Structure 1
């Protein structure tokens, strides 16, 4: 696309989402949506993900140029010239940036380590989990919330065509789903056990949501955690995910009919918010089922193949699969999107092998 065309690749609009990440029916709209989601990124991996999906895309040359710029070695600043016959001034303090990290400081004196806490017995741990209404199957396992069977209306006839038609779905058996998205710490436990790929999260602490993972990466994690716990872990189906994300509400947002500040991690949702990374899991309140960050934070992979709408979708909560499926569904929006993407019905797709810095997941399992 010519440079003049870039002016048309605007930020996602509010209201019924006429232009951003939520898809339209044409391949061109999917590509534009992908580009809009990464065009302001400072991560080379985002542009590499675009090139993998669209090697001859309209923004391919620009993506390659940005990768080259982001991977170029930083140039050291020119030394300031001191005035003639004057003492050299003390170096000025510079603000910390991604290109100029602070100088290394000597480590503080070692402190004596406190005695390790004695781990609770399995019986005590199970009793605590029951008392809190939560499930934790093993030390490395994510905390789960048990949800009952139920009936709900999936989709949204007033929103994007991909979310139509709204239809009744019966979740006919209880299931458990992650209270939070899988965190960096939880992912790294799988890496240490050689069950998952090592994926750098240089700017993320242990309780940040794990991101830049593909659908295939997420499958490796649920396979590993299933072996560790002895439980049938998997990704939630798209129907289970929306049932859980709504938290028992039929409104567009899990908290009601209108956008409200402080409910989700997005660029229009209030603090805490940072353009470069999502907030730590649980930084915002839980929905009616006790789940955090189902709106915003990171897009979440689910089990289903992508379909352009819900015509012919199963109504029993099962995953909508088909042979040879490569396009998989992601749900919930991310911290980079605006308020219009926080509705519970928002959905999009990616290739199962693509890693993108806005994409993460939460786990589920049956009983």
Structure 2
């Protein structure tokens, strides 16, 4: 009996370590990156959707892993969800789908160079009043310079040049090595992620596709369920609408702005604090159906909102599994044959382990997922 028990316990321990589990107190895990292998990505992705009531989650698995080990089960789940016991289509219900590495599987919508009809940008919801006895929110500097180039354009914050240490040597391997980066040129970054209302202005102009969403978000919610290709369409339209060169931020620009001049694990300090970000175990406000309105939490020291939680944010860079060889001047890190792009910041569907300022992940640039959104950047004169 003892001979059998020892190998069994050893096996359980090895599997636990391999899947990224740990029982040690105080550890913060980036969550989805214990190993940079396709097999681990597939297992992690399946584990995240195995109890889903949304057929679209299983369809996404089949697109990503057409020869995967769970293909028969995914097809059976789709059939079961598409046809309920009464023979009528089952109503979809969204469940958290964490980031995963996806092969190219969807065709990006075609861009349309159509002049926009100016529409007022939705005003973000005000930050909630602090509870009695709670720590006051960190306020942005009075020197924050806001920019809005057109009625339908997102509000921007001017970001001054500077240097910082990018990455983290203590967490996920993809964040290593921590390295110095010099942002030599001023740029502007969206004060908030792009909202549903702002996205719909592009839709009304015929330049973007309407994004399906079962939660029926209001105009002040961040747009989500968009691919990198969708985001590229939007900034192309915004460039034409405003006469300014809009783009996605580089990964270095994003992290520099997210840190807001701080060197801690989060922009507010080294410890997670409840009520600072929109994530599922980070305190209220939170709801499973979708992200809260932009601006529902305090801004970072640069005056930027929702740089952690809310929605994952696309940046311009191609994905690399570490920072070895990364540029140190803040430019976008590109490859000749780039399919996967970087996303940053975590989302409302994720736990607090994703909220570290250094956390990063990837998606295929043509794939839409519920938790993915973006914010815009533009060059400064």
**Which TM-score band (shorter chain)?**
0.7 to 0.9
Residue 360 of structure 1: aligned partner: 373
What is the alpha-carbon distance in structure 2 between the residues aligned to residue 186 and residue 12 of structure 1? 40
Q: Which runs of 5+ in 1 are unaligned?
A: 78-96, 100-118, 120-129
Report which of the two structures shows the higher radius of gyration computed on alpha carbons: 1
2:53 and 2:92 in contact (8 A); partners too: no
Question: C-alpha root-mean-square deviation of aligned residues, in Å?
Answer: 2.7
Matches within 5 A, 1:282-361: 282-361=295-374
Query: What's the TM-score once normalised by structure 1's chain length?
Result: 0.78
2:55 and 2:92 in contact (8 A); partners too: no
**How much has 1:73 moved relative to structure 2?**
5.5
Residue 203 of structure 2: aligned partner: 191
1:45 and 1:357 in contact (8 A); partners too: no
**How much has 1:160 moved relative to structure 2?**
0.3
Matches within 5 A, 1:1-367: 15-17=27-29, 20-22=31-33, 24-72=35-83, 75=86, 133-203=145-215, 204-367=217-380
What is the alpha-carbon distance in structure 2 between the residues aligned to residue 208 and residue 12 of structure 1? 33
1:23 and 1:348 in contact (8 A); partners too: no
**How much has 1:337 moved relative to structure 2?**
1.1
What is the alpha-carbon distance in structure 1 between the residues aligned to residue 315 and residue 183 of structure 2? 16
More moved, 153-162 vs 272-281: 272-281
After superposition, the Cα gap between the structure-2 partners of 1:67 and 1:136, relative to the gap in structure 1 and judged at 3 Å, is farther
1:22 and 1:33 in contact (8 A); partners too: no
What is the alpha-carbon distance in structure 2 between the residues aligned to residue 98 and residue 354 of structure 1? 19
What is the alpha-carbon distance in structure 1 between the residues aligned to residue 160 and residue 47 of structure 2? 38
More moved, 335-344 vs 40-49: 40-49
What is the alpha-carbon distance in structure 2 between the residues aligned to residue 250 and residue 312 of structure 1? 22
What is the alpha-carbon distance in structure 1 between the residues aligned to residue 85 and residue 300 of structure 2? 44
Aligned residues: 313
Deviations 1:230-262 (CA, angstroms, capped at 9, x unpaired): 111111000001011111111010110100001
**How much has 1:22 moved relative to structure 2?**
3.8
Query: What's the TM-score once normalised by structure 2's chain length?
Result: 0.76
What is the alpha-carbon distance in structure 2 between the residues aligned to residue 289 and residue 44 of structure 1? 41
What is the alpha-carbon distance in structure 2 between the residues aligned to residue 186 and residue 42 of structure 1? 30
More moved, 279-288 vs 38-47: 38-47
